[in-house]
Amino acid sequence: MTDTTTQPIPSSKPRNLFQQLELDTRLLGMIGAFIILCIAFNVLTDGRFLTPRNIFNLTIQTVSVAIMATGMVFVIVTRHIDLSVGALLATTSAVMAMVQTEVLPQTLGMGLNHPATWAITIVVGLAVGTLVGAFHGWMVGYLAIPAFIVTLGGFLVWRNVAWYLTDGQTIGPLDGNFLMFGGTNGTLGTTWSWIIGIVATVLALLTLWNARRAKAGHGFPVKPIWAEVTFSLVISGTILGFIWILNSYNIPSRRLARMFEARGETMPEGLVVGYGLPLSVFILIAVAVVMTVVARRTRFGRYIFATGGNPDAAELSGINTRMLTVKIFALMGFLCALSAVVASARLANHSNDLGTLDELRVIAAAVIGGTALSGGIGTIYGAILGALIMQALQSGMAMVGVDAPFQNIVVGSVLVLAVLIDIIYRKRLGAK
Amino acid sequence: MTKSPKELRAEGATPLVEMDDISISFGGIKAVDSVSVDLQPGEVVGLLGHNGAGKSTLIKILSGAYQKDSGEIRIDGKPVEITNPRDARSHNIETIYQTLALADNLDAASNLFLGRELVTPTGLVDDSAMEAECRKIFKQLNPNFQKFNEPVSALSGGQRQSVAIARAVYFNARILIMDEPTAALGPHETQMVAELIQQLKAQGIGIFLIDHDVHAVMELCDRASVMKNGQLVGTVDIEDVTDDDLLSMIILGKKPGEAAA
């Protein structure tokens, strides 16, 4: 028993720097690519790309796709696919548009901009999204129809259910309070943004520290303390720097004046107010944190990755993989509805083409973010970064003045190239 | 061990597990046809037969992967219903599959505890505690093992096999099913598994060992049950037979001393 042949690494061998730091080299590569991209666009646009204003816009444009991409990670990790997310976004948006402009104010006689309208609307929308997703999951899990087919069908069905529900019309304006979730119409202001930034920093550092203590408590190797401190500084700097940038984008003075007029007040001369953290971005951050915890620290998440790695092993380990599929698709549907809230609120109305091609953007974001279509591998932060890279690429090219057809040609090529680099990277890693 | 499995059987003691008159068909073909096998504590029973003889199918009924059409399974003399892998686990039946049944993308501890994760009081998966337990059990099974933080795809065949075995040992299996446990292993690792089987046997665990290799069965098992075309050819005491006897049972489907059909 004591004599096994296969033990290439003696425990005493000093680990190299990268191993000691337990850095995710893939993530570093992506962050590097993103930074290079941003700097390049900044140079090409004479410094217009990396302004608080553009960064603010970039983040609120990314939110909708990024929220869905986190759910798509789970779907793809379990070797499924969801082609219906854009259409489902449209249907849930259409349902919510009808609820807040027709059903609640007129049919139920609550009138326009009733304070409860936004909440009821969102609850209804999330419920519809979750139910439709669960239905997809049931067909995939229990009826064993391939997810590709179920969601290809869903793509046609839900796109046109949305059309039918609204007669193809643009529905708007939406409820005043509902618009808070769109971005510019609902920001937290500088003070609250700082508070949230500081709370987030403290929580992040506490999490790091707790993880280290748990490891040390069992006598496992931990990172050197200087690495831990450096990492903490980078995290704190990123969070607070992000808040600082969003806070330094000031509400245009004419817009500010209109806001004061609406309240019947006059704007004090020379007043400067920063936007701060948009509510929609805050939602994305919350989704990212919750989804990461689900992926890493819950049984549900563990079973998702186990099923993706080896469905038979998961089944034989007593995991109910069919029910798991239903839950994953239900979660995907929920996130589609959440994205629908953000997307329709950002545009201030529901239009018939809302979410068109989003399924492809979402899948691309997840895949650029390192989710393997063969299953078992993927991260939430990767998918969000993937969505951010795609959006940066798209709006950067628009700012530079690249013709529209070329924009899509570039985005498509980048997708294929990113996957190629990933394949080469993984081969190297495997051969090591 | 007070009494050997053979003495227990001679006394007519209740077997640890009995599979009685088990049948299962797939699309009209009887994969297992009225087969009965049993197992005493501390006994290793080999299941032999060609590919497609039905031995894996029979054993998958015990591990809950398939459901029998007819027949009865008794544990300690009591009839039990096993309709899924969770039922089997609740009867302390653990299976080491031919295909290893590991999730390649997860680390050793996650695989060891798959489906039975340790959780913190808040209900979150407690990776540190699982890794600590995993290190403990590996200290006993395979002390050189160090790759606790790497996905099991990075492990060698023998290391992967020890993860699968660790799972069975950790959860106090009473009945262990090993489906060709050495199929993917080199000679040295095969020896390791053989030693482990002796160790588990000494602890009073009953083991069903499915194997193609007659020599391995002769070396490791107390009894052997041979199957052919879904039917049981016969069950023999290893001490009473030779390699050739077993081979002729597998190939010709007749018990030693019987005339060819």
Q: State the average pLDDT over residues A118-128.
A: 95
Put simply, whether A217 touches B (Cβ < 8 Å) is yes
Residues of chain A in contact with residue B195, where contact means CB-CB under 8 angstroms, are 1
Q: How many domains does chain B have?
A: 2
All residues at 6 or more sequence positions from B126 whose CB lies less than 8 Å from its CB, including other chains: B117, B118, B119, B120
> How large is the average pLDDT for residues A111-135?
93
Residue B63 lies in a domain: yes
Three-class SS of residue B209? strand
Sheet of B93-96: strands edge to edge? B93-96, B175-179, B206-210, B44-48, B223-228, B231-237
Give the residue from chain A lying closest to B197, CA to CA. A1
Compute the distance between CA of residue A117 and CA of residue A178 in angstroms, rounded to an integer.
8
Confidence of residue A15 (pLDDT cuts 50, 70, 90): low
Question: Would you call A253 an interface residue with chain B, using a CB distance cutoff of 8 Å?
Answer: no
C-beta atoms of B144 and A215 within 8 A: no
Tell me the β-bridge partners of B95. Answer: B177
Tell me: do B192 and B69 sit in the same domain: yes
Say yes or no for a CB contact (<8 Å) between B105 and A305. Answer: yes
SS (H, E, C) B166-202: HHHHHCCCCEEEEECCCCCCCHHHHHHHHHHHHHHHH
DSSP codes, B25-69: EETTEEEEEEEEEEE-TT-EEEEE--TTSSHHHHHHHHHTSS--S
| Any domain includes B102 | no
- Please report whether residue B99 resides in a domain: no
**Claim to verify: residue B85 and residue B209 sit in the same structural domain:** yes
Position B243 scores a pLDDT of 84
Nearest CB to A313 within list B103, B186, B189: B103
The first and second tokens of residue A154, run together, are: 């869903």
Residues B124 and B241 in one domain: no
Q: Model confidence over A265-318: pLDDT tens digits?
A: 777 777 778 888 899 999 999 999 999 999 999 999 999 999 999 998 898 888
* Six token digits for residue A200: 């987030």
How many angstroms away from the CA of A255 is the closest CA of chain B?
Answer: 46
Answer with the residue of higher pLDDT: A22 or A4. A22
Is residue A19's pLDDT more than 80?
A: no
Buried (b) or exposed (e) across A327-356, using 16+ Cβ within 10 A?
A: bbbbbbbbbbbbbbbbbbbbbebbbbebbe
**Rounded to an integer, what distance in angstroms lies between the CA atom of residue A281 and that of residue A180?**
11
In the beta sheet, which residues pair with residue B178? Answer: B96, B209
Nearest to A275 by CA among A146, A184, A397: A184
Q: Residue A13: its chain B contacts at CB < 8 A?
A: none
Q: Which of A7, A220, A309 sits opposite B131 (nearest CB)?
A: A220
- What are the helix (H) ranges across A348-379? 358-368
Q: Are A278 and A59 in contact (CB under 8 A)?
A: yes
Boundary of a domain, candidates B130, B151, B172: B172
Residue of chain A whose alpha carbon sits nearest to that of B112? A317
Computed over every residue of chain A, the mean pLDDT equals 88
Q: Which H/E stretch holds residue A125?
A: helix A117-141
Q: Which two tokens stand for residue B66?
A: 């398939």
Between CA B194 and CA B214 the distance in angstroms is 14
Could you tell me if A298 lies within 8 Å of chain B, comparing CB atoms?
yes
pLDDT-based confidence at residue A10 (cuts at 50, 70, 90) = very low
Residue A43 confidence class, pLDDT cut points 50, 70, 90:
very high
- Is B6 found in the same domain as B56? yes
| Set of chain B residues whose Cβ sits within 8 Å of the Cβ of A9 | 146-147
Query: Helix or strand or coil: residue B228?
Result: strand
Do residue B162 and residue B220 come from a single domain?
no
Does position A64 have pLDDT exceeding 90, yes or no?
yes
**CATH of the domain spanning A42-186+278-389:** 1.10.3470
Are residues B75 and B178 both part of a single domain? yes
Measure CB to CB from residue B105 to each of A220, A298, A308 and give the nearest one: A308
Residues B206 and B81 grouped into a single domain: yes
CB proximity A226 to B under 8 Å: no
Residue spans in chain A of domains classed CATH 1.10.3470: 42-186+278-389
Out of B104, B131, B144, name the one closest to residue A7 (CB).
Answer: B144
Question: Does one domain contain both B74 and B145?
Answer: no
Candidate from B101, B111, B158 with C-beta closest to A6: B158
Domain holding B126, by residue range, is 107-172
Same domain? For B58 and B138 the reply is no
A290 part of contact set with chain B, CB < 8 Å: no
Q: Which two tokens stand for residue A407?
A: 């924009």
Task: Assess if residue B261 is contained within a domain.
Answer: yes
Q: Which residues of B fall within a CB distance of 8 Å from A223?
A: none
Q: Which DSSP string corresponds to B118-168?
A: -B-TTS-B-HHHHHHHHHHHHHHH-TT---TTSBGGGS-HHHHHHHHHHHH
Answer whether residue B244 is part of any domain. yes
Q: What pLDDT was estimated at residue A430?
A: 61
Which regions of chain B are under pLDDT 50?
A: 1, 260-261
Q: How far apart are CA B132 and CA A203, in angstroms?
A: 26
A173-205 pLDDT tens trace: 898 889 989 888 888 888 899 999 999 999 999
Q: What residues in A contact B125, CB-CB < 8 Å?
A: 296-299, 301-302
Tell whether B10 and B74 lie within a shared domain.
yes
Per-residue pLDDT at A14 exceeds 50: no
Please name the member of A5, A7, A318 whose beta carbon is closest to the beta carbon of B115: A318
Q: How confident is the model at residue A22 (pLDDT cuts 50, 70, 90)?
A: low
**Residue A305 at interface with chain B, using a CB cutoff of 8 Å:** yes
pLDDT, tens digit (0-9, with 9 covering 90-100), for A217-275: 887 878 888 888 888 899 899 899 999 988 888 888 778 888 788 887 777 777 778 88
Choice between B159 and A388, residue whose per-residue pLDDT is larger: A388
Q: Which residue has the higher pLDDT, A14 or B221?
A: B221
Residues in chain B with CB shorter than 8 Å from the CB of A316 are 63, 65, 85, 95, 97, 101
Do A328 and A80 touch, CB atoms closer than 8 A?
yes
**DSSP element (H, E) containing A171:** none
Are B79 and B4 in a shared domain?
yes
| Partner B contacted by A427 (CB < 8 A) | no
Per-residue pLDDT band at A6 (split at 50, 70, 90): very low
Residues B111 and B68 in one domain: no
Q: Pull the structure tokens for residue B217.
A: 């069965």
> Nearest CA to CA, how far is B164 from chain A (Å)?
11
- The phi and psi torsions of A357 (rounded to 5 degrees) equal 70, 5
Section A208-217 average pLDDT: 84
| Structure confidence at residue B242 (pLDDT) | 85
- What is residue A91's predicted lDDT score, i.e. its pLDDT? 96
What is the nearest CA distance from A197 to chain B, expressed in angstroms?
25
Domain boundary among B120, B142, B172: B172
With CA atoms as reference, the chain A residue closest to B148 would be A220
Per-residue pLDDT at A16: 59
Give A-chain residues touching B159 at CB under 8 angstroms: 4, 6
Q: Look at B114 and A218 and tell me if their CB atoms are within 8 Å.
A: no
Boundary residue ending a domain (B125, B149, B172): B172
How far apart are alpha carbons B127 and B119 in whole angstroms?
Answer: 8
pLDDT tens column, B5-26: 777 777 777 888 999 999 999 8
DSSP class of residue A108 equals S
Interface test with A, best of B62, B83, B96, B106 (most A CBs within 10 A): B106
Q: How far is A376 from chain B (nearest CA, A)?
A: 6
From the CA of A24, how many Å to the nearest CA of chain B?
13
Structural tokens at position B61: 């009924």
